[in-house]
């Protein structure tokens, strides 16, 4: 078990073992002590303290708003938050204070959750390491763990100038949960940005079926693929948060119309009637031996549990990267058109003409990754290119979605795949490649679920020989999110992933960490 779960902390709060204010102070203290990880862009200390006081009154009256009342959470800085700066880690939006809350943020607050702050990311969520935002890279707490440091010391001299990347683009949200300064966080997932950092930080990362969580107030990257993601320390917590957030939103016409029924996952899970598919195309070049090993172990576990495991084929997998790139950049080029220096965010001083103002604003406001994607997208959308790129990519997307559909129609319930090719890289290693190449490698197993709108979850499995987390991914049928989470919970129960034990320079927070872990009762 990796620290207090929402269910446990919620019970402790209701029974008065700890007050929301005390819990909030502990989390604030952890945020301060783990500052080196750079997980937060804005810490909303004042609001959090006030929210905790309000929660305390409700709990004392025995009148909590719901299971999240008094529970600290964090939100990626690409969700609009009323009265709180929302930057997307970009100069373009620095200083922008939205007048409204994203629907999912509002729903968290309506449940009494305490917002600890806004978390760090790649600029406009374009990336897979949380290294490409204006506030600097996010560091992975496992890079400071006893488990990793001991291995490093054995293999070579410990080099404190380098650190391990957190994954991305929701790296700040993943680190906030992994380092226990909050109990759940929101990320966004367009091609893997929730599952990837969850995998690298040893926590659970979930994207629901497209249409179950509102995108209203999530600053868009690729509207047809974006979904809010949920990051927690266990699968049960995902289902708690998901149940509170999911469902129709009149402000997002792509959300489902039917009312969403929240669910609890059973504790006793039987996988005997389950059929698990193993996509053969996911044996990709670059898959590390260790990842293959744990994937095989996963297969064996399901077989031993009585499930039927079958090899399946997703024949268009090889095109998913290029297809994602074309669709992503075309939607980016249209989404970014709103940042013209006139309505909100950054405005350049160059005002000789409207065009000059636009150009200078964008040059100063966006990093080269964002500008590169805008250029590529506009190129693909040129009249003479439209059919060859955009229309073709749409067709390929349909083929990719159909691959999944066929597999599920053949009786497969869930797919079991790795989440990433290997464990997290060191920062120096990571930045050797450019943003595009890195995404092509890191998102290889995750982007299919976004192209097809399917639910998918990354579950921590084991530590690599270097002492860093490795994770497996489950992909489910559209709108069978409960089944997916149930299978993921069963797998989690079998794996018993270890607790993060921090060492220098973060050992000053190990006592606090221990007090937030389920091994040390309040």
Q: How far is CA 247 from the centre of its chain?
A: 19
Nearer to ligand GLN (CB atom), residue 190 or residue 291: 190
Residues 235, 139, 506, 53, CA torsion sign:
negative
- Least distance (Å) between residue 443 CB and ligand GLN: 5
Residue for token digits 């597999």?
Answer: 407
Beta-carbon neighbour count of residue 139 at 10 Å? 25
- Least distance (Å) between residue 260 CB and ligand GLN: 23
Six-digit token pair at 325?
């790139």
Nearer to ligand GLN (CB atom), residue 221 or residue 274: 221
Nearer to ligand GLN (CB atom), residue 10 or residue 422: 422
Task: Please give the helix or strand (H or E) that residue 118 lies within, else none.
Answer: strand 114-119
Ramachandran angles phi, psi of 56, nearest 5°: -60, -45
- Least distance (Å) between residue 439 CB and ligand GLN: 4
Nearer to ligand GLN (CB atom), residue 319 or residue 358: 319
- Least distance (Å) between residue 63 CB and ligand GLN: 38
The 3-state secondary structure of 238-298 reads HHHHHHHHCCCECCECCCCCCCCCCCCCCCCCCCCCCEEEEEHHHCCCCCCHHHHHHHHHH
**Of residues 19, 80, 169, 179, which has the active-site annotation?**
169
Nearer to ligand GLN (CB atom), residue 128 or residue 463: 128
- Least distance (Å) between residue 181 CB and ligand GLN: 22
Q: Are 218 and 193 in contact (CB under 8 A)?
A: no
Instruction: Catalog residues that contact ligand GLN under the rule CB under 6 A.
Output: 125-128, 169, 188-193, 221, 328, 439, 443
**Of residues 19, 145, 170, 193, which has the active-site annotation?**
193
Ramachandran angles phi, psi of 302, nearest 5°: -65, -40
Q: How far is CA 34 from the centre of its chain?
A: 20
**Of residues 10, 33, 76, 320, which has the active-site annotation?**
76
- Least distance (Å) between residue 466 CB and ligand GLN: 23
- Least distance (Å) between residue 210 CB and ligand GLN: 13
Q: How far is CA 76 from the centre of its chain?
A: 9
Q: Is 169 among the residues known to form the active site?
A: yes
Task: Please give the helix or strand (H or E) that residue 29 lies within, else none.
Answer: helix 20-33
Q: Are 111 and 240 in contact (CB under 8 A)?
A: no
Nearer to ligand GLN (CB atom), residue 5 or residue 317: 317
- Least distance (Å) between residue 193 CB and ligand GLN: 3
Closest alpha carbon to 231 in 402, 70, 458: 458
Nearer to ligand GLN (CB atom), residue 44 or residue 188: 188
Task: Please give the helix or strand (H or E) that residue 441 lies within, else none.
Answer: helix 435-442
E-only strand ranges, 282-352: 308-312
Nearer to ligand GLN (CB atom), residue 44 or residue 173: 173
Closest alpha carbon to 89 in 243, 227, 221, 276: 221
Residue for token digits 């669709």?
Answer: 327
Q: Are 194 and 223 in contact (CB under 8 A)?
A: no
Nearer to ligand GLN (CB atom), residue 120 or residue 516: 120
Q: How many residues does the chain have?
A: 522
| C-alpha distances in Å from residue 387, one per residue of 10, 245, 383, 392, 458 | 54, 38, 8, 6, 35
- Least distance (Å) between residue 127 CB and ligand GLN: 5
Six-digit token pair at 307?
């499930």
Please list the active-site residues: 76, 169, 193
């Amino acid at each position: 078990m990796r620290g207090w779960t929402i269910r446990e902390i919620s019970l402790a709060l209701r029974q008065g073992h700890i007050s929301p204010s005390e819990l909030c102070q502990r989390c604030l203290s952890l945020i301060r002590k783990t500052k080196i990880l750079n997980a937060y862009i804005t810490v909303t200390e004042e609001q959090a303290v006030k929210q905790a006081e309000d929660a305390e009154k409700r709990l004392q009256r025995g009148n909590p708003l719901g299971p999240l009342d008094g529970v600290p959470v964090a939100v990626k800085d690409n969700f609009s938050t009323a009265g709180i700066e929302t930057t997307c880690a970009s100069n373009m939006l620095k200083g922008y204070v939205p007048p409204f809350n994203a629907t999912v943020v509002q729903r968290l607050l309506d449940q009494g959750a305490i917002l600890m702050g806004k978390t760090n990311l790649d600029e406009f969520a374009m990336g897979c390491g949380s290294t490409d935002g204006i506030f600097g890279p996010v560091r992975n707490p496992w890079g400071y763990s006893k488990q990793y440091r001991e291995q490093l010391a054995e293999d070579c001299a410990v080099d404190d100038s380098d650190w391990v990347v957190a994954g991305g683009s929701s790296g700040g949200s993943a680190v906030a949960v992994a380092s226990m300064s909050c109990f759940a966080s929101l990320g966004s997932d367009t091609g893997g940005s929730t599952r990837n950092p969850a995998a690298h930080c040893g926590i659970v990362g979930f994207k629901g079926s497209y249409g179950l969580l509102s995108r209203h107030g999530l600053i868009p990257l690729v509207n047809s693929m974006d979904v809010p993601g949920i990051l927690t320390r266990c699968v049960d917590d995902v289902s708690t948060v998901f149940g509170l957030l999911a469902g129709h939103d009149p402000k997002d016409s792509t959300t489902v119309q039917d009312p969403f029924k929240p669910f609890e996952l059973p504790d006793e899970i039987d996988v005997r009637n389950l059929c698990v598919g193993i996509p053969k195309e996911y044996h990709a070049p670059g898959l590390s031996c260790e990842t293959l090993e744990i994937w095989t172990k996963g297969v064996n576990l399901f077989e031993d549990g009585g499930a039927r495991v079958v090899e399946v084929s997703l024949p268009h997998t090889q095109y998913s990267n290029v297809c994602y790139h074309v669709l992503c950049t075309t939607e980016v080029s249209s989404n970014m058109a709103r940042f013209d220096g006139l309505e909100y965010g950054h405005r350049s001083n160059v005002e000789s003409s409207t065009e000059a103002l636009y150009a200078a604003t964008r040059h100063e406001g966006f990093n080269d990754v964002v500008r590169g994607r805008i250029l590529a997208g506009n190129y693909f959308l040129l009249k003479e290119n439209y059919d060859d790129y955009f229309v073709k990519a749409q067709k390929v997307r349909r083929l990719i979605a159909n691959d999944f559909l066929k597999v599920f129609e053949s009786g497969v319930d869930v797919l079991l795949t790795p989440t990433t090719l290997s464990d997290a890289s060191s920062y120096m290693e990571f930045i050797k490649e450019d943003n595009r190449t890195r995404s092509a490698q890191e998102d290889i197993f995750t982007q299919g679920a976004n192209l097809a709108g399917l639910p998918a979850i990354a579950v921590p499995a084991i530590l690599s020989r270097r002492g860093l987390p490795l994770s497996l991914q489950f992909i489910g049928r559209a709108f069978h999110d409960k089944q997916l989470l149930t299978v993921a919970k069963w797998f989690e129960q079998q794996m018993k992933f270890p607790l993060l034990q921090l060492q220098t320079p973060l050992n000053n927070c190990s006592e606090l960490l221990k007090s937030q872990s389920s091994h040390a009762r309040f």
